[in-house]
Amino acid sequence: MNTLAESSTVQSRESVKMKSPEKEALIAAHQREFTKTIGEIASPNPRIAAREVNVYYGDKHAIQNIGLDIGHNEVIALIGPSGCGKSTFLRCLNRMNDTIPGCRVTGSIRLDGQDIYEGGLDVVPLRAQVGMVFQKPNPFPKSIYENVAYGPKIHGLASTKAELEEIVETSLRRAGLWDEVKDDLAKPGTSLSGGQQQRLCIARTIAVGPEVILMDEPCSALDPIATAKIEQLIDELRELYTIAIVTHSMQQAARVSQRTAYFHLGRLIEVGETAQIFTNPRHPLTEDYITGRFG
Amino acid sequence: MKQITEGHVLRRYDGELRELHYKVLEMGTLVLTQVRGALGALKSGDTELAARVIDDDDRVDDLEVEADTEVVALFARRCPKGSDLRLVMALSKAITDLERVGDEAVKIASSVERLYAVRGDRPSEVSLNEVLALADTVVRRFESSLRLVDSWDAEDAQRFIAGQREIADKFHRVLAEMLDNGGDEAGGPGFAVNLVLILKALERVASHAENLAEYVIYQAMGLVLRHHAV
Amino acid sequence: MNSEVSQVLSKRNLDIVNASLKRRHAAESRFRLYGLLSIGAGILMLVILLGSIFGKGYRAFSQTYIGLDVHFDPAVIDPEGLRNPEALAGADYNALLKRSLGELFPEVTDRQEKRALNRLVSGGAAYSVRDEVLAHPELLGGTSRLWVSAGPDVDMLEKGYVDRDAAEAERIMKDRELGWVDKLKADGRLERRFNVKFFTAGDSRDPEQAGIWGALMGSLYTVLVTLVLSLPIGVAAAIYLEEFAPRNRWVDFIEVNINNLAAVPSIVFGLLGLAVFINFFGVPRSSPLVGGLVLTLMTLPVIIIAARSALKSVPPSIREAAMGIGASPMQTVFHHVVPLAMPGMLTGAIIGMSRALGESAPLLMIGMVAFIVDIPHSIFDPATVLPVQVYLWADSPERGFVERTSAAILVLLAFLILMNGTAVYLRRRFERRW
């Protein structure tokens, strides 16, 4: 199975060299066959629908032909070894890859039916719709209040001070942080503990009213209790938002997600119900990864 | 073929799974010896052998406790996933089945003690041979089910389950015959009752052997076959 | 590996480690010693430098004054009796001073001796008498004791630069003159006072009349022009290059050139300023404006490089955080990145400003080396700057300028320390932890 994956990267390297359209079409067709995902990629009620997404960093084919739906009020976990493209795929969903020079994305990603890679689409409202929480808690070096209020301010979501205060309070409440910080809103965000900082970042994301929240290994820098709090929060937020989470912890993927997608060397190997993926994966690569036999 | 427990990046995990696997196989071998001993006693009328079989059950119980502890430790420490999870689940269930088989061997041995309680008194050869012939088949099946737990070969397991119907028919035939003649053939109603009990125990053993085969299929394919006729 | 083997092995390893330990400790303490020595040498050099400058320069902060009973004879300074300020300003005050001196030493009659006697008082003393009269016209006709600057020779004698024991022919002051000075001293007519003039006057040919105020103001205006031009331009260029510019060959080319400009000898900028600003654009020569423009050219690369590295050091997670909630690139940069990079940018700017303040070579090319007596009042007036003033005085033959050179250097250093102190204060204020 490993040789299969290797030969596919060789394939992609060759495809970069060849220019003739017939050959390219042939290779594309071959690759579609080659990069077929096991399991149901479609969702009955998709919020995000990605089809045939390819990402190139210069000559490197980082993501090959990925198709995946993310349903309403669903938590989907993206797992896989380092460098498998899961974070790259996640960053495609709110076009954070735009900032990386030499990065090229092909295929279609639709958010509520609207292609987000369509020419002329502004990324600013997109990023308000599709928020992102990062690996390292990264509050602004400002007060807790300012951290949460910044997003609504730049988007003009509040017309009066009272409205802004209400948004801040609601966001902090939803992030489960209000009771801990309501008396210290003027304190710098960086003075909080790591777990609180991450919840502050989640509150900051919620404050601009997104539909989708992307989380890139949100708990990798946190202790187990703080992690559990974030996981509980994710479970609560599922009622209101669609969540895609990249994680290195299979335990965490198993705990928080309804569906799990396994990435390997830029391909989406297998998607399925989380319970099925973790008890009875169908692809040997998934099996090796989740049982700890990878490598 | 590569061992089913091998290949983890964390090699101690391999060892722990293998240890549990061996413990289950050891338990199976012990139980098999018990069944064989009980049937040998039935054949030869050796009540001392039967008493030894009953005593040996303690060892089976000890092994069961040990194996269960290992299963719990594996869940706590390794959080098995995928095929490992199914393997541990299969082994854990196999432990219960093997312990039951041990109990059935004890039942047979007790019946043997009762059959030969009066010196010189024996059941009729015809009935005894019929039961022994059936017992032979059951022991062979149990033995091959143990081999399945060793090899984890799902295809063999499927074939094994396919042969279950045949043995069930045999049971019905022998039991029906014995009931037809009201135990006269067996050499008296006392003999007949004990022989029926032994038959019942043998049937349970065969059924546990089938369970083992089902676990092998579950491990290999993630399918739950229990309670579904194949 | 069994435990016995590992134990033996670790024991042997321990021996090897112990054997090399002494050598390693020795190497470490040697290195520390070298470090201490070099720091010590640096501090010693600094102490010697500052000591010699201060030793030479501190005397310039005092000046010898001679007290003279001046009779404000209306016949001499206001012959028409109109008390017309213009007439008063143009009168011959030297005559009054000569007469006062003559009254003190009536025995001096010889023409040559009289000239020597008059040299006891500074050539500029007449101006202070004039200023006194203009400020207090009621003095006219009366007599009052005025303290006027002593001549350079008297000043030098008082500050101990003249060896009384040397042969008369080798002395700048003859026995006769020494006698006059001693008599003045005995009469309590000779005093050393704080040299206010040094801080308030412009340049002069006479050391006792020369001050640094003109150069100080020139420096201030020049640095102000430099700051106002180079800080916004440099920071804006750095932000554009670092945050917005596409990565291509042109930007690489510009980057290389900025780095090269930082290494260009400063006099080249002076030539450029002469050719472009003065000859082509006709900016007034010797003015702080043209000086500031030239120094801006020189400082820009330093500021750009420092600002870019400050921007680079802002953690990318902050940018990601802002982008992630939908801030535009512009908002990201100005709301989050620039405030965090501010301390680093300011440091770079202050380093650039300090360099500009201490620079003299390019300013020589644009005429700021001229002898300018007037104190500049705007960036268009001819001016000179502190380092150039130091250069000019160091070049002067008069003995009195030696100590003034050192004193000017001390003032320049104080100026620099003040600027750096401001920089540290600003940085502390802007600095935030994240």
Q: Considering CB atoms only, which of A251, A254, A293 is closest to B7?
A: A293
C121, HSE (Cβ side, Cα atoms, 13 Å): 30
Contact between chains at A281 and B82 (C-beta distance less than 8 A): yes
- What's the whole-model pTM score? 0.77
A165 CA to chain B: closest CA distance, Å? 45
- CA angle at residue A177 from A173 to A183, to 5 degrees? 95
Contact between chains at A286 and B82 (C-beta distance less than 8 A): yes
Q: What is the residue-averaged pLDDT of chain A? A: 86
Contact between chains at C324 and A94 (C-beta distance less than 8 A): yes
- CA angle at residue A295 from A294 to B3, to 5 degrees? 65
What is the mean predicted confidence (pLDDT) over B193-205? 91
**Which of the four pLDDT bands, split at 50, 70 and 90, describes residue A14?**
very low
> Which amino acid is it at C235?
V
- CA angle at residue B157 from B154 to B158, to 5 degrees? 90
Residues C67-96 pLDDT 10s:
888 888 887 777 777 777 777 777 788 888
Is residue A2 less than 8 Å (CB to CB) from chain B? no
Q: Who contacts B80 (Cβ-Cβ below 8 Å, separation ≥6)?
A: A291, B74, B87, B88
What is the mean predicted confidence (pLDDT) over A179-183? 89
* C-alpha–C-alpha distance, residues C71 and C141, integer Å: 7
* C-alpha–C-alpha distance, residues B209 and A45, integer Å: 46
Contact between chains at A291 and B84 (C-beta distance less than 8 A): yes
Contact A279, A269 (CB under 8 A): no
Contact between chains at A94 and C247 (C-beta distance less than 8 A): no
The one-character DSSP state at C244 is: I
Report the run of H or E that residue C143 belongs to, with start and end.
Answer: strand C143-149
In a domain, B227, yes or no: no
Copy the structure tokens of residue B111.
Answer: 């019946």
Q: From the DSSP assignment, how many helices (H) and strands (E) are in chain C?
A: 19, 3
Q: Considering CB atoms only, which of C320, C326, C432 is closest to A128?
A: C326
In a domain, B152, yes or no: yes
- Which chain B residues have a beta carbon less than 8 Å from that of A278? 81-82, 85
Q: Chain C residue with minimal CA distance to A125?
A: C326
Domain count along chain B: 1
In a domain, B4, yes or no: no
The interface predicted TM-score (ipTM) is: 0.80
Contacting B residues, span 21-50, partner chain A, CB-CB under 8 Å: none
Copy the structure tokens of residue C307.
Answer: 């600002």
In a domain, B1, yes or no: no
Is residue C314 less than 8 Å (CB to CB) from chain A? no
Q: Considering CB atoms only, which of A136, A154, A208 is closest to C317?
A: A136
Contact between chains at A138 and C336 (C-beta distance less than 8 A): no
In a domain, B99, yes or no: yes
* Mutate: best of A99, A130, A191, A213, partner C, most C CBs <10 A: A99
Who wins on pLDDT, A72 or C171? A72
Residues A263-286 pLDDT 10s:
998 899 999 999 999 998 989 889
What is the mean predicted confidence (pLDDT) over A57-62? 88
Q: Considering CB atoms only, which of A127, A136, A190 is closest to C325?
A: A127
In a domain, B38, yes or no: yes
- How many beta-carbon pairs below 8 A join chains A and C? 68
Copy the structure tokens of residue A103.
Answer: 């990065």
* C-alpha–C-alpha distance, residues C331 and C345, integer Å: 19
- Which chain A residues have a beta carbon less than 8 Å from that of B7? 288, 293
* C-alpha–C-alpha distance, residues B190 and B171, integer Å: 20
Maximum CA extent, chain C? 122
pLDDT of residue B184: 64
- Which chain A residues have a beta carbon less than 8 Å from that of C320? 96, 132, 134, 138
**Which of the four pLDDT bands, split at 50, 70 and 90, describes residue A13?**
very low
pLDDT of residue C312: 92
* C-alpha–C-alpha distance, residues A194 and C295, integer Å: 48
**Which of the four pLDDT bands, split at 50, 70 and 90, describes residue A1?**
very low
Q: Do chains C and A touch (3 or more CB pairs under 8 A)?
A: yes
pLDDT of residue B144: 94
Contact A48, A110 (CB under 8 A): yes
Strands (E), chain A: 46-57, 60-71, 75-79, 103-111, 114-115, 130-133, 212-216, 242-246, 259-264, 267-273
Positive or negative, the CA dihedral B174, B177, B179, B184 is: negative
- Which chain C residues have a beta carbon less than 8 Å from that of A125? 326
Interface of A with C (CB under 8 A): 94, 96, 99, 101, 123-128, 131-134, 136, 138-141, 150-151, 154-155, 190, 201, 204-205, 207-208
Q: Return the CATH number at B94.
A: 1.20.58.220
Taking CA atoms, A92 is separated from A110, A116, A206, C328, in Å, by 11, 9, 20, 18
* C-alpha–C-alpha distance, residues C136 and C134, integer Å: 6
pLDDT of residue B225: 64
Is residue C247 less than 8 Å (CB to CB) from chain A? yes
- Which chain A residues have a beta carbon less than 8 Å from that of B10? 292
Q: Considering CB atoms only, which of B10, B13, B82 is closest to A279?
A: B82
In a domain, B175, yes or no: yes
Copy the structure tokens of residue B126.
Answer: 């015809």
pLDDT of residue B229: 46
What residues make up the domain containing B22? 11-221
pLDDT of residue C106: 84
pLDDT of residue A162: 92
Q: Considering CB atoms only, which of C324, C328, C331 is closest to A132?
A: C324
Chains that touch A (3 or more CB pairs under 8 A): B, C
Q: Do chains B and A touch (3 or more CB pairs under 8 A)?
A: yes
Q: Chain A residue with minimal CA distance to C324?
A: A132
Q: Nearest Cα to A93, choosing from A74, A115, A77? A: A115
**Which of the four pLDDT bands, split at 50, 70 and 90, describes residue A101?**
confident
- Where is average pLDDT lowest: B144-148, B215-219, C135-139? C135-139
- Which chain A residues have a beta carbon less than 8 Å from that of B83? 287, 291
What is the mean predicted confidence (pLDDT) over B103-122? 86
In a domain, B32, yes or no: yes
Q: Nearest Cα to C106, choosing from C95, C117, C96? A: C117
Superfamily of domain C213-430: MetI-like (1.10.3720.10)
Residues A124-133 pLDDT 10s:
889 889 999 9
Q: Nearest Cα to A177, choosing from A148, A155, A151? A: A148
- Where is average pLDDT lowest: A159-168, B33-42, C14-23? C14-23
How buried is residue A161: exposed, middle or buried, by Cβ count under 10 Å (0-12/13-18/19+)?
exposed
- Which chain A residues have a beta carbon less than 8 Å from that of B16? none
pLDDT of residue A48: 93
Is residue B130 less than 8 Å (CB to CB) from chain A? no
What is the mean predicted confidence (pLDDT) over B17-29? 94
Who wins on pLDDT, C317 or B223? C317
Chains that touch C (3 or more CB pairs under 8 A): A
Contact between chains at A140 and C325 (C-beta distance less than 8 A): no
Q: Nearest Cα to A63, choosing from A75, A50, A77? A: A50
User: What are the domain boundaries of chain C?
Assistant: 3-58, 62-201, 213-430
Structural domains of chain A in order of their starting residue, each with its CATH number: 2-14+24-290 (3.40.50.300)
For the sheet with A267-273, list strands across it: A130-133, A212-216, A242-246, A75-79, A259-264, A267-273
For the sheet with A46-57, list strands across it: A60-71, A46-57, A103-111, A114-115
C300, HSE (Cβ side, Cα atoms, 13 Å): 22
Q: Chain A residue with minimal CA distance to B6?
A: A293
In chain C, which stretches have pLDDT less than 50?
1, 434
* C-alpha–C-alpha distance, residues A284 and A287, integer Å: 5
State the Rg of chain C over Cα: 32
